[in-house]
Amino acid sequence: MHNLRNLRNLRMHHLSQRTSLTRFAWLSIGAALATIGLKAGAYLLTGSVGLLSDALESVVNLVAAVVALVVLSVAARPPDDDHAYGHDKAEYFSSGVEGALILLAAASIAYVSFGRLFDPQPIEQAWLGLAISVVASAINLVVARVLMQAGRHYRSITLEADAHHLMTDVWTSVGVVLGVAAVALTGWQRLDPIIALIVATNIIWSGARIIQRSALGLLDTALPADDRAKVVAILAGYVEREGVTYHALRTRQAASRRFVSVHILVPGSWTVRQGHTLLEQLEAEVRTALPGSTVFTHLEPLEDPESFEDQLLDRAEVTG
CATH number at residue 232: 3.30.70.1350
Whether residue 160 is found in the same domain as residue 47: yes
Q: What average pLDDT does this structure show over 164-171? A: 77
Q: Which residue has the higher pLDDT, 114 or 270?
A: 270
Among 187, 218, 249, give the residue marking a domain's end: 218
Residues contacting 126, CB < 8 A, separation 6+: 46, 48, 180, 181, 183, 184
Whether residue 236 is found in the same domain as residue 133: no
Is pLDDT of 171 > 60? yes
| Domain-embedded: residue 314 | no
Whether residue 13 is found in the same domain as residue 151: yes
| Domain-embedded: residue 318 | no
Whether residue 34 is found in the same domain as residue 83: yes
Whether residue 234 is found in the same domain as residue 214: no
Query: Residue 19 has what pLDDT?
Result: 53
Whether residue 87 is found in the same domain as residue 16: yes
Whether residue 51 is found in the same domain as residue 134: yes
Among 188, 218, 248, give the residue marking a domain's end: 218
| Domain-embedded: residue 75 | yes
Query: Residue 3 has what pLDDT?
Result: 43
Per residue in 4-31, pLDDT tens? 444 444 444 444 455 578 888 899 899 9
| Domain-embedded: residue 79 | yes
CATH number at residue 133: 1.20.1510.10
| Domain-embedded: residue 316 | no
Torsion of CA 195, 111, 116, 164, to 10 degrees: -20
Query: Residue 43 has what pLDDT?
Result: 77
| Domain-embedded: residue 199 | yes
Whether residue 242 is found in the same domain as residue 163: no
Q: What residues are paired with 247 via a beta bridge? A: 263
Closest to 258 in 3D by CA, of 282, 286, 299:
286
Query: Residue 18 has what pLDDT?
Result: 53
Whether residue 170 is found in the same domain as residue 291: no
Among 192, 218, 244, give the residue marking a domain's end: 218
| Domain-embedded: residue 313 | no
Is pLDDT of 119 > 80? no
Is pLDDT of 128 > 70? yes
> Domain count of the chain?
2
* Backbone φ, ψ for residue 124 (5° rounding): -105, 145
Per residue in 186-230, pLDDT tens? 777 777 777 777 777 777 877 787 787 777 777 777 888 999 999
Per residue in 41-73, pLDDT tens? 877 877 776 667 677 777 877 888 888 888 888
Distance set, CA 281 to CA 69, 72, 261, 274 (Å): 38, 33, 15, 11
| Domain-embedded: residue 35 | yes
Whether residue 154 is found in the same domain as residue 197: yes
Cα–Cα distance between 168 and 64 in angstroms, integer?
14
Per residue in 255-309, pLDDT tens? 667 899 999 999 989 999 999 999 999 999 999 999 888 899 999 998 878 777 7
Is pLDDT of 245 > 50? yes
Whether residue 175 is found in the same domain as residue 283: no
Whether residue 200 is found in the same domain as residue 241: no
Cα–Cα distance between 194 and 133 in angstroms, integer?
18
Range of the domain at 189: 2-218
